[in-house]
Every structure is written in structure tokens, then in C-alpha cells.
Amino acid sequence: MLREIVLDTETTGTDAKGGDRLIEIGCVELINHIQTGATFHRYVNPTRPVSQGAFAVHGLSDAFLADKPVFADIVDAFRAFCGDARLVIHNAPFDVGFLNAEFARLGAAAPPAIELDAVVDTLQMARRKHPGAANNLDALCARYGIDTSRRTKHGALLDAQILAEVYIELLGGKQASLGLGTVSSAQMAAASAPVVVAPREFRARLTAEEGARHAAFVATLGDGAIWRHYVGEDGASSPTS
């Protein structure tokens, strides 16, 4: 069983090393590349103001965040949800940088830092698959026909759910099967291809009397009659060219 956690964050700004903080974490669980419905979502009080640039992106104000728990109060629940699952993140250095900065602030109680080489970075996947193209989340959603009508502002949980769909497309567009496995696009195409059925022998359902009358009628048509090539005297089909 492959368990992965698709993760997104929102922050007070863009500079984790300069003191910007996490204000929202959203996670979506995948088992064998299928969303299970299990999620983790928390808002976090950053204990510092949100920059105007960041507020314009996510709309999370200082007043809204004032009564939310600080990171130290939610870190155990966050780590318990993630467990030892592989993380899937778009532009992983950004989010991992903020998470590790928050861990470092916990001092001796801090969990181990997240190693970037253990994270699946969907931005890097997209750049390899679509070199030279725009590969932000909005562009990828447009490319793959993923609905973003609910996304009027950035939000960590919604973005993680959307990213989970993008991730599956980047892997090759696998879809869930009824058996909770995965079926590739090629397999789906093969399954939907027309089925060619070999011709079956046809045997006329005639009584002996009907067969005799039919044979007498065919005899009047001469040797060139096409029926002689289809129905023999015993009512069985003959090979056709």
C-alpha cells in the first residue's frame, strides 16, 4: 500500500528565513494515488502581522487569525496525520522551508526536519513533462481540465485537493477502478475499444417440411443463386467469401 500526503500551506509572506510564519496547513491523504477523503486542516496564529501582499493572495487577516492556535499546539496532530507517508507538494522548497522553520522554533521538542529529497515536488514533475510552459497550479488545472471555480482565493486545503488531482494527471491520468486499484489511461482506452466478435455459424430453424419447400424453390433459381452459397440442403450455413 502506498500512502501519500498532498500538502499545501499559506503564510504571512514569502521569506521563511526572514521571520514570515505559517498561518494555514491543508493535507489530503492518498492511498495508491486515490483520495481517501481523509484530510487535515488547521489555521495557525503566526503571532506577527500578515503582509499586504500575502493577504491579497489568501485573504486571511490578522483579526481572523488572532484566536487560532499557535503552531506548537497543532504540530503533534499534524505529524500524527502525516505519519511516515511521503509528502507531495507543489514547489516543495517553499512549503518545506516554512515547516522546517516552524519545527526549529520548537527547540528540543522539534520533530526531525523534512528532507527535500524525500518529497515529491509536483512543480519539478510538471517542468519535466511540460518544459517551457507555465506550470503554476492554475496553469496545470487549465491544461488538464480540472475545475477551479471554487478557488476565488488561495486556501491550503482546497489547493491540496486540487493539487491531488493535478498530481494524478502528472503521473499519467490514472483513474480509480471499482476495485480501489488504479487503471491507466491506456488500459481505459483498451477497455472502451469496440469488441470484435468472430462470425458464428448460422443454422436455419426450419421444419423438415419447410426445408423441403425451400429446397424446391431454390432449385428453380439455377446454379447462380446466391442462396445456394448461404443455406445448404440441410439448412446449415455454407462459407461465404
Top-confidence residue, 114 or 240? 114
Mean pLDDT of 166-183: 67
8 Å CB contact between 58 and 41: no
Position 210 pLDDT exceeds 50:
yes
86 alpha carbon, distance to own chain's centre: 16
Residue 186 is predicted with a pLDDT of 44
Position 211 pLDDT exceeds 80:
no
Position 212 pLDDT exceeds 80:
no
8 Å CB contact between 203 and 230: no
Q: Residue ranges of the domains in the chain?
A: 3-176, 196-241
8 Å CB contact between 26 and 158: yes
Give the range among 25-29, 55-59, 195-199 with minimum mean pLDDT: 195-199
Give the range among 12-21, 116-125, 169-178 with minimum mean pLDDT: 169-178
Run of H or E residues at 39? strand 34-43
Top-confidence residue, 154 or 185? 154
String of DSSP letters for 20-38: --EEEEEEEEEETTEEEEE
Q: Tell me which of 33, 41, 90, 154 is the catalytic residue.
A: 154
209 alpha carbon, distance to own chain's centre: 65
Top-confidence residue, 209 or 110? 110
Q: For residue 183, what pLDDT band results from cuts at 50, 70 and 90?
A: very low
**Domain topology for 3-176:** Nucleotidyltransferase; domain 5 (3.30.420)
Closest of 203, 207, 191 to residue 238, by C-alpha:
203
Q: Is 154 a catalytic residue?
A: yes
Mean pLDDT computed over every residue of the chain: 83
Position 161 pLDDT exceeds 70:
yes
Mean pLDDT of 18-42: 97
Global pTM value? 0.72
Position 123 pLDDT exceeds 80:
yes
